[in-house]
Structure 1
């Protein structure tokens, strides 16, 4: 027995040694469970899932800007050999994130909140730092490739989430949280990389304060920059100190900030939710482009993306998804849906929903032998497939067989409420966009907002958008951001 134990220990040590790799940034040995080739392949496989979930923001000039700056920074990074890709995705959430192997994404929400190129460059360097230091690979190794559903924990229980497309590996990677040491290292790399391409890295610290104010003011989910991150005040001081050190080291006497040039880049950008992609109002979802609407159960949370509209109660016991299903007929679409979700139909019927042809299907998720032995609860679904304007719309309600009767009427009310959107005010709803205004006379920011007829309840929001306080005095000739339809 002792002999076998010693052999097992030796094998474990060899396995651990073989799982180590030299960190490109620190030069130290890290425990990782994949090679660089596997890391690159993982990012390449995950990129389509990210784009399907968020969509690419349609602005060629802005996409070119992030690519040019990203490639310049990647060239002086610790891993210039990687084939980097940089993209602005169509999401109002204020965030930026990176996937293993060189994939970096900025939301239009965070692009709207930068107030100069130096802030942008600092955060860009921070995200590249996560890649060069292999933070995602390390975290994924520690998590042993654990999968995380996109909104599991917000509105869905883990058992229900298994039917959601959002539980893919690519999107799961976005939810690997970095520890404080990783974030400090990425801050340091962000300062280093942005300084090396000529920017004033101290501006990144100012942007962290903008993020903190936005989160405190809205009560929204904490961006990646702030979750499990160092104390904001300590972080602010540390980044300023590191920026000063790099300026001295590089003799950077004329570090770039480029406020006006950056603001002109984002003029006209969609700000906040884009109603053309669907919006929620008065417990109903409206889609002006596809011209349909349906009610949302009272008290349910929701999330909209180009791929799926999801909604669910806070207790996580159920979920409803709206998706498109390919198929020449409703019957063909039904077969594809059942196969795709591994469902066994219990009963179905042809019907109409507000004059539109439809199929109503109750189906259970098929269980394998192991699930049956473990006596796991059966997942039961109610789906209405509705034919409208050449598309097959699938409204699927998901819960356990035990809870199905409790949610049946709720599911039905939403699905049978699907109808053609005719209201002109909903069909013509336009997004807000960033508008630039050059201050004509030195005043406080709040006075300028009053002169520009900004509603009082939105003044703090726009102050944060500009990285300023309402009491700040703004000089004549200063360019600021406003929003307008």
Structure 2
């Protein structure tokens, strides 16, 4: 039920605790309020705390709230159900995501706000999410999923041939996935029409889809393949969505819709960018956690991602890394922990102990289901942390990358801990002769700064900022 209710935008577009601001937003003038379905309210109230926990709580920033509040009111007034009330929450997450729950709960991350360049793009995302609510997509998907589950059970009970079973189940999964894709395209269409009716630029949706695609390329450091389509994805491929978004925008006949770039960027000045201090920081190839007082570095080519539950990384060769805390009682033996049964395919002869920068540690190897694993656990004060490396292509390079990462684990100095501050967006005005490369040099502490600068400011390759134009920088100050 919860999974059906959370219509994620990950192309539905993809952590900390705090006191949640009440942001009930209604159109003006206030219309007769439409009563919400009690089932929808029940789902929303049940899932809301879970979402806050999963996305680091709320992000409390009056300027950021103002950046979207007026847009929400206009979108609601122009929507198919102008009497419906909504509760909009800004989540304290650097991921680019937005989603909605039945009952009018709409969520946007601060990462999404940082990526947008004007109010019309944020309005496009919100209009899309409100379309999911008004179209009752959550319940439609739930009913479809329930029917698919029944069909799967019937196939498994009646059909004896395993090959026929697999084919029938795959067909059911594809059907359900395509149903979700259709919902996304429908929400795009409704949202863009609403956007135009509200007086915003209807092409904003298409612009933001392009920006999201460019940001995904930046994050993975791998260009998107135009024909690389996951047919079991619940979202349509970006080319399909982009084509429809442009056609729908043109069909509205709206011209000169509002973008509101200057006011939007002004309110974004000082917005936290990237990781929150409570979750640690990714700085290039390093992960540094001031509160825990630890850090480590991954090999060249690895892409680090900090999540609420673990630090993840991948290499161009397909090696995956996970770093997280281990539930090891204080004073327990690390070798016994490795042998306690949580590792499938453990090779007992591979276990050995070592010292990492004066810290007790133990390592082991495992092989299961076509993957080779290297596991390292290290005791740090009263806590224990673990590294897990996995690959389908083991060899000397894999071993060397594991060893170098493990041996880079270290305590941070007091000065390092004090010097770790969150990154923030800085809004500046481009002058005559300023180029993307010049601005990128001010972001030299970031990975591939010019590529990131272009993505954040919606600049195509070779395009340069225009004199007088406001642009976003990522700042350490």
The one-character-per-residue Cα deviations of 1:385-411 (angstroms, maximum 9, x if unpaired) are 5233x5x232053769xx99x988976
Give, in angstroms, the shift of residue 269 of structure 1: 1.8
Partner of 2:357: 354
Q: What is the aligned partner in structure 2 of residue 150 from structure 1?
A: none
- What corresponds to 2:385 in structure 1? 394
Residue 278 (structure 1) aligned with residue 271 (structure 2)? no
For structure 1, which runs of at least 5 residues remain unmatched after alignment? Answer: 1-35, 147-174, 248-253, 366-374
- Asked if the contact 2:64/2:267 (under 8 Å) is kept, the reply is no
Please say if residues 343 and 363 of structure 1, whose CA atoms lie closer than 8 Å, have aligned partners that are also in contact. no
Aligned to 2:10: none
- Per the alignment, residue 480 of structure 1 pairs with 471
Going from structure 1 to structure 2, the CA distance change for 1:273 and 1:185 (only over 3 Å counts) comes to same
- The size of the alignment, in residue pairs, is 393
Offset of residue 308 of structure 1: 0.9
Cα RMSD for the two superposed structures? 5.4
1:238 is aligned to 248
Q: Is the 8 A contact 1:421 1:427 kept in 2?
A: no
1:107-156 C-alpha deviation (Å, 9 max, x unpaired): 3332123222222111111122233334455556656699xxxxxxxxxx
* Alignment correspondent of 1:124: 126
Q: Which secondary structure state, in structure 1, belongs to the residue aligned with residue 434 of structure 2? A: helix
Question: What secondary structure sits across from 2:240 in the alignment?
Answer: coil
Q: Is the 8 A contact 2:64 2:268 kept in 1?
A: no
Deviation, 1:323, is 2.3
Tell me if the contact between 2:196 and 2:252 (Cα under 8 Å) persists in the aligned partners: no
Helix, strand or coil at the partner of 1:90: coil
**Cα shift readout 1:10-59 (whole Å, capped 9, x = no counterpart):** xxxxxxxxxxxxxxxxxxxxxxxxxx777666665555555445424643
CA contact (8 A) 1:213 1:464 kept: yes
Q: What is the distance in 2 between the residues matched to 1:88 and 1:41?
A: 21
Residue 438 of structure 2 corresponds to residue 435 of structure 1: no
Give the match's secondary structure for 2:388.
strand
Q: CA, structure 1 residues 350+49, in 2 after alignment: closer, same or farther (shift >3 Å)?
A: farther
Structure 1 pair 423/187, CA: closer, same or farther in 2 (3 Å)? Answer: same
Secondary structure of 2:288's counterpart equals: strand
* Distance in structure 1 (CA, Å) of the matches to 2:354 and 2:59: 39
Contact 1:438/1:480, CA 8 A, preserved across alignment: yes
Q: Secondary structure at the residue paired with 1:329?
A: coil
SS at match of 2:122: helix
The answer as to whether partners of 2:130 and 2:191 remain within 8 angstroms in 1 is yes
Distance 1:345 1:273 in 2: 34
Deviations 1:217-236 (A, max 9, x none): 76467999873552634532
TM-score by length of 1: 0.59
Task: State the match for 2:117 in structure 1.
Answer: 115
Distance 2:222 2:354 in 1: 43
Residue 61 of structure 1 is matched in structure 2 by 62
TM-score by length of 2: 0.60
Aligned partner of residue 115 in structure 1, secondary structure: coil
The 5 Å alignment of 1:247-258 reads 256-258=258-260
Instruction: Return 450-459 or 118-127, whichever deviates more.
Output: 450-459
Contact 1:84-1:102 within 8 A present in 2 as well = yes
| Residues 300, 176 of structure 1: alpha-carbon distance in 2 compared, 3 angstrom cutoff | farther
Give ranges in structure 2 of 5+ residues lacking alignment: 1-36, 150-175, 226-232, 443-447
Q: Distance between the aligned counterparts of 1:219 and 1:344, measured in 2?
A: 32
Q: What does residue 457 of structure 2 align with? A: 466
Per the alignment, residue 229 of structure 2 pairs with: none
| Shift in Å, 1:191 | 2.5
Cα drift, residue 437 of structure 1: 2.5
1:86 aligns with 2:89: yes
| Equivalent residue runs for 1:297-446 within 5 Å | 302-311=304-313, 320-325=321-326, 329-331=330-332, 353-356=356-359, 360=362, 382=375, 384-388=377-381, 390=382, 392-397=383-388, 414-415=405-406, 417-422=408-413, 428-438=419-429, 443=432
Change (3 A) 1:213 1:312: closer
